[in-house]
Amino acid sequence: MSNGREEQAGTDIIAGDKPEEACGIFGVVAPGRDVSRLAFFSLFALQHRGQESAGIAVADNGYLTAIKDMGLVSQVFKEETLRSLSGQAAIGHVRYSTTGSTRWANAQPVCYDRHGQTLALGHNGNLVNTAEIREQMGALGARFTSTSDSELLAAMIANSPARDIRDAVAESIPRIRGAFSVVLLNQGTVVGFRDPWGIRPLCVGRLDDGNYALASESCGLDIIGAEFLQDIEPGQVAVITEGNLELIQAVEPAPRQGFCIFEYIYFARPDSVIHGKTVSATRIRMGEELAREYGVEADMVIPIPDTGTPAAIGFARASGIPYGEGLIKNRYIGRTFIQPDQSLRQHGIRVKLNPLAELIRGKSLVVVDDSIVRGNTTHKIVRMLFEAGAAEVHLRISSPPITHPCFYGIDTATSTELIAAEKSVAEIRRHVGATSLEYISLEGLQRAVDMPATRFCRACFTGNYPVEVPDELKMSKHRFEQVEQEAVG
């Protein structure tokens, strides 16, 4: 895929080997509060869900102002910027692109005219009937300034003949297929809604002044002092006005639910609560299951930080092997556009991770991580551990092999990007250079999550997609750029 990662493959020393999430979203109505600041800090807590761009839209007595740009939340918004964003309601968005390229026009919130008023919208997920919606909206005279599917959502709701925003959203949802957790801002009202399959997360909380806020994860509520109330249910619409929360079941939940199980494995922050379960505790159970399924004699269990840490703790607890921190992460590196010189490139992954050679020298290690997507970074880490003196490196992965691409908001658009789609576990072990390699079983993962498999989308492991995916969607996340170029040509 040409999303910038391939273009930097030879030079980006912090390029990861993880699936990439789509977005984080937030919305609040709180007259008398500094709503842009609330949005800033919530997005700061949700930064792990997207690091390409950030944006905040604020409604102030009927006027809407939106500021968005490429970069991290702290890079886009400074103190003077937040002071200029006064109002009574706000929504916010952090983005990782899964439909549409990495450019300013695709940053969110998306703004669109609705009956002479401005509507702002932020979206987490991917639609699968984009071609159909684009054709319908084009026939109505809609014009698009971006190449993301999120602008299609805004155009559909904006072009609804319904005067009340509740009705416009409710009548639009049945026409949309795919993954969508959405917040929108219209005339001081914030509306949040989820698709009938419940693929992407969204929850609601109450501030101490009696007002309400929405966020992709509960950690986005915790940081602003909001009390977590509940997850927004699949097919449900949450309408927030001053001091009021209205929940409307716009469409019935789909018979087969499809919450992304990777939220528990990797995407969600460990301190978030989803379906009443703390993510960290679930990841610890994954490590325990992994130890029961694929135990090994070793001297120490170490994680690949940070996302492998809870599972490593669980593996150590269940196996009785001591836990240690054999890899130290540079927690300030973030994402950088500064390319290293040749000598730095040769150090590769050490810019991000550095081994504690004194601790691991001569030891047999169990190295726990949450997933392997492409395998290149894992190979570098294994080699680095051996170079630091490790006697054995036994890799244990707390997700099953990722064998199928995701079309619902994770940036794995083709099977050729997935090492487990092309190689057996034995072949992957040889590729990464580990002494041994084992993945948790799908059954073990389900035991750790402790909910029925029918609640989840597990298509990345099984190829069984809850929402049918048209062939044109499988082409590329840049399909709208292709359409745009053909139109110009």
Could you tell me if 24 and 73 lie in one domain? yes
Question: C-alpha angle with apex 286: 385 to 445, nearest 5 degrees?
Answer: 120
Could you tell me if 322 and 190 lie in one domain? no
Question: Would residue 409 count as lying in a domain?
Answer: yes
Token pair belonging to 406: 């995701």
- For β-strands 456-457 and 259-260, DSSP reports them as parallel
Could you tell me if 150 and 208 lie in one domain? yes
Q: What is the pLDDT of residues 55-91, one digit of tens each?
A: 999 999 989 999 999 999 999 999 999 999 999 999 9
Q: Which of 227, 258, 289 is at the close of a domain?
A: 258
Please tell me the distance from the alpha carbon of residue 28 to that of residue 190, in angstroms, as a whole number.
7
Q: What is the pLDDT of residues 209-238, one digit of tens each?
A: 999 999 999 999 999 999 999 999 999 999
Whether 343 has a pLDDT exceeding 80, the answer reads no
The predicted structure's pLDDT at residue 344:
64
Q: Which of 226, 258, 290 is at the close of a domain?
A: 258
> What is the percent of the chain with per-residue pLDDT over 70, rounded to a whole number?
86
The predicted structure's pLDDT at residue 106:
81
CA distances (Å), origin 255, targets 389, 453, 461 = 53, 13, 21
Catalytic, 460? Answer no
| H or E element, residue 139 | helix 130-139
Question: Would residue 488 count as lying in a domain?
Answer: no
Question: Would residue 163 count as lying in a domain?
Answer: yes
The end-to-end CA distance of the chain, in Å, is 23
8 A C-beta contact, residue 438 and residue 294:
yes
8 A C-beta contact, residue 266 and residue 307:
yes
Could you tell me if 433 and 341 lie in one domain? yes
The predicted structure's pLDDT at residue 414:
74
Question: Would residue 484 count as lying in a domain?
Answer: no
pLDDT-wise least confident of 59-68, 171-180, 334-343: 334-343
Q: What is the pLDDT of residues 112-155, one digit of tens each?
A: 999 889 999 999 999 998 888 888 888 887 777 766 788 899 99
Q: How confident is the model at residue 161 (pLDDT cuts 50, 70, 90)?
A: very high
Could you tell me if 128 and 236 lie in one domain? yes
CA 405 to chain centre: 15
Amino acid letter for position 405: P
Could you tell me if 237 and 288 lie in one domain? no
pLDDT-wise least confident of 67-81, 162-176, 215-229, 342-356: 342-356
Whether 442 has a pLDDT exceeding 50, the answer reads yes
Taking the CB of residue 139, how many other CB atoms lie within 10 A of it? Answer: 8
Please tell me the distance from the alpha carbon of residue 413 to that of residue 410, in angstroms, as a whole number.
8
Instruction: Kindly report the backbone phi and psi dihedral angles of residue 466, in degrees, each rounded to the nearest multiple of 5, phi listed first.
Output: -70, -30
pTM of the model: 0.89
Closest CA to 41 of 273, 266, 245, 213: 213
Could you tell me if 238 and 302 lie in one domain? no
Instruction: Select which of 23, 111, 203, 457 is catalytic.
Output: 23
Could you tell me if 32 and 120 lie in one domain? yes
Whether 15 has a pLDDT exceeding 70, the answer reads no
Q: What is the pLDDT of residues 89-110, one digit of tens each?
A: 999 999 875 444 456 778 899 9
Question: Would residue 22 count as lying in a domain?
Answer: yes
Question: Would residue 265 count as lying in a domain?
Answer: no
CATH number at residue 386: 3.40.50.2020
Which residues partner with 26 through β-bridges?
92, 215
Could you tell me if 307 and 187 lie in one domain? no
Which residues partner with 259 through β-bridges?
456
Could you tell me if 171 and 282 lie in one domain? no
For the segment 377-401, the average pLDDT, to the nearest whole number, is 96
Could you tell me if 349 and 441 lie in one domain? yes
- Supply the DSSP symbol for 412: B
Question: Would residue 474 count as lying in a domain?
Answer: no
Question: Would residue 461 count as lying in a domain?
Answer: no
Please tell me the distance from the alpha carbon of residue 414 to that of residue 425, in angstroms, as a whole number.
19
8 A C-beta contact, residue 190 and residue 182:
no
| H or E element, residue 312 | helix 309-319
CA distances (Å), origin 88, targets 109, 206, 228, 243 = 17, 16, 21, 12
8 A C-beta contact, residue 317 and residue 287:
yes
How many distinct structural domains can be found in the chain?
Answer: 2
Its domain, for residue 337, covers 276-452
Please tell me the distance from the alpha carbon of residue 96 to that of residue 103, in angstroms, as a whole number.
11
Could you tell me if 316 and 214 lie in one domain? no
